[in-house]
Chains A and B, each alone.
Chain A
C-alpha cells in the first residue's frame, strides 16, 4: 500500500519536474510549462480562485441542468403560485407557480449563451480590425483606428437600446446590439500588441520563408494578442452580463417564458412588496456570476498581463 502511494507521488514529482524543467524539449512542453507556471501564481490568489470557482460552478450547473432539476423551468403550475421558500421549493415559486430554483438553474444556460455569443462576435471583429491596422500601417491603420475611436466614444447602452429597437426585442438581438457597441477596445488592444511584435525577428523569418500576410496574422501575430484580449473580455464580461440583464429587465432582451435572470427580475417586480423572493433571488444570481467574472478577470490580469496591472 505504501509502495503504491509512493509510486503515485513519484509520478506526480516527475510531472512537476517535467513541467518546471529549465530546458523544455519541445513546443508542447514549453506551452504546458507556461500554463503551469501561470496556474501556480494564480493559485496563490484566493480571490481569483473564488472567481474561478464561481465560473466553473456556473458551467457545471448549466451542463447538468437536466439532472439537478425536475422540470424545464417554463412549465406552469398555477396551483403552486407564489409559494415562499420551503424544502420543496428552495427559492419559492413565481407568479405562474414555476420553481424559482429551477428557473435560476436553467437561466445559467442563458447566461452562458450570452457570454459565448458576445465572445464569438466581439473577439474576432476586434482582433481582425486591430491586427490588420497594426500589421499594414499607413492609411489602413489610420482609417480603421478612426472608426474604432468613433465607436469607442459612443454611448453604449443608449446605442444598444436603439439597435434593439431596430432589430426587435429578443435575446440574440440584445446580444448583437451589445456586441456592435463593444468591439472597439479589443481592436485597440490587438493593434497595440501587433505593433510590439511586428518588427520581431520571428515575423521577419516567416516573411522570408514566403508566408502570406494572412498566415502571418493568423498563426504568428494572433497568438500574441490572445492573452490580453481574453483578460479584457473576462473583465468586461460582468458589464456585458449586467447590460444583457438590464435589456432583459426593460423587456428588450430575452422574452418570456425564457428563464433569463434580468427578465425574471422584471416580471417579479410587481411582487416585491409581499413576495420578496420572486425578484430578489435572480438579482443575487446575477450579482454572484458577474462578481465571479470580475474576480477571475482581476486574477487573470495579474498572471497573464502584469504590465497593465490595476490600470484600465
Chain B
C-alpha cells in the first residue's frame, strides 16, 4: 500500500514527462514535414523546366525524355514527394548546374562561412546587449533607459545592406583600416587545412596567426553590421525580462535584508533571467543564419546566402532548394533546441 502511494506520483510524473516529450517530437516532425512540403512545392512550381536546366535547351527529344523519366517526373506527385523526402534524408540534394558538383558538397563549402559570421555576431550581441539591457532595466525611465531604447530602435531601422556599403566606403576605401570584401586575402587562402571550416578557428588550431589576423580583419565589418541587429534584439529582451524580475517580491526582500544593489541585480534577478535568455540567444543565432543574406552580398562573403541568391539568378533549382532546406533545417532545429532547453531548465515552463 505504501509502495503504491509512493510510486504513483512518480509514475504519473514520468508519464507526464514522457507524453510531453512525445508531443514535442511530433511537433518537431510536423514542422520539418511542413518545411519539406513547402520547399517541394516551390521546386515543382518553379518557372524553370528542371529537365532543360540539366540537358540544355538544344538537347534532342530522346535525351529530354530519358532525363524526364530519370528525374521521375512521370510519377504521381505524392510519389515524387516521397522520393524527394528519401533523397533529403540521405543528404542527396542533386547536382548544381552552376558548379556541376553535388549541392551538398557546395553547401559544405559555403555553410561554415555563414556559421562563422553568425557566431561572431551572436557573441558580439551577447557581450554588448545583455549588460546594456540590464543597465536599462535597472535605470528604468531614466536617461540611460531611453538611450538604450532609442539606440535599439535605430538598430532595428537601419537597412544593414546600405550601412555595410557605407562602412566599406569609409573604413576600407577611404581610411584603409580593414582589408576589403571577402573572407580572406587570396594569398592567405588555402594555407591552413580545413578542419572546422571556420577559418579563424582553423588558423588558431594550426598556429598560423598571420592567417588568423587577416581573417579577423575581414570579418570585423560584416560582423559589426550583424551585431547591430543582434544587439538591438538581445538588449530589448534582456530589459523586459529584467523588469519582470525586478518588480517581484523576492527582490524587495533581498533589498530589505540589506543586500548590495549589485548582488540583487546580478546575483538574484539576473540569474532568473538566464534561462529565458537562452531562447533569445538561440533565436538570434538562427535569424542571423538567414538574415546574413544581404550582408554576405555586400561583403562578398562566400556564405550560404550568397550561394542561394547566385543560384537563384542562374535558375539553379537544386542549389536553391538545397540551400533553402539547409538554412531551414538549421533554423527550425536551433529554435527547437533552445525551446527544449528552456522547458528542461525552467520548471515553470509547462
Contacts and interface: CB of A to CB of B under 8 A. Distances in A.
The yes or no verdict on A and B being binding partners is yes
Given A166-B46, A246-B294, A265-B165, A155 B156 contact: no
Q: Binding site of B, secondary structure by majority: helix, strand, loop or mixed?
A: helix
A291 B297 CA distance: 24
A273 B159 contact: no
A311 interface: yes
Interface string B233-255: 00011011001000000000000
Contact of B42 (A162, A272, A273, A279): A162
B114 to A, nearest CB: 11
B31 A155 contact: no
Nearest to A266: B161
Q: Binding site of A, secondary structure by majority: helix, strand, loop or mixed?
A: helix
From B31, B157, B290, residue with most partner A Cβ within 10 Å:
B157
Contacts of A154: 34-35, 38, 328, 331-332
A250 interface: yes
Interface in A194-244: 238-239, 242
Nearest to A297: B153
A312 to B, nearest CB: 7
A276 B170 CA distance: 11
Interface string B160-183: 111101101100010000000000
Given A252-B312, A279-B165, A158 B27 contact: no
Contacts of B156: 238-239, 290, 294
Interface string B300-321: 0000010011001100000011
B291 interface: yes
B240 A310 contact: yes
Contact of B290 (A47, A146, A156, A282): A156
Contact of B293 (A161, A166, A245, A280): A161
A162 B309 contact: no
A163 B42 contact: yes
Contacts of B290: 155-158
Contact of A162 (B161, B166, B236, B324): B324
B30 A150 contact: yes
A260 to B, nearest CB: 12
B150 interface: yes
B132 interface: no
A246 B42 CA distance: 21
Contacts of A166: 42, 45-47
B157 A162 contact: no
Given A161-B308, A166-B42, A287-B159, A294 B153 contact: yes
Contacts of A286: 159, 162
Contacts of A149: 27, 31
Interface in B320-334: 320-321, 323-324, 327-328, 331-332
Contacts, number: 144
A161 B309 contact: yes
Nearest to B297: A250
Contact of B320 (A165, A273, A293): A165
A170 interface: no
B31 A150 contact: yes
A269 B165 contact: yes
A153 B331 contact: yes
B130 to A, nearest CB: 16
A59 B161 CA distance: 25
A291 B291 CA distance: 19
Interface of A: 47, 146-147, 149-151, 153-159, 161-166, 168, 238-239, 242, 245-246, 249-252, 262, 265, 269, 272-273, 276, 279-280, 282-283, 286-287, 290-291, 293-295, 298, 309-312
30 contacts: A47-B150, A150-B31, A150-B34, A153-B331, A153-B332, A153-B336, A154-B331, A155-B289, A156-B290, A158-B305, A158-B324, A161-B312, A162-B324, A165-B320, A166-B46, A166-B47, A238-B156, A238-B157, A242-B157, A246-B159, A250-B297, A262-B159, A280-B166, A283-B159, A283-B162, A291-B154, A294-B157, A298-B153, A310-B236, A310-B243
Interface of B: 27, 30-31, 34-35, 38-39, 42, 45-47, 146, 149-150, 153-154, 156-163, 165-166, 168-169, 173, 236-237, 239-240, 243, 286-287, 289-291, 293-294, 297, 305, 308-309, 312-313, 320-321, 323-324, 327-328, 331-332, 335-336
* Top-4 shortest CB links A-B: A283-B162, A150-B34, A310-B240, A291-B157
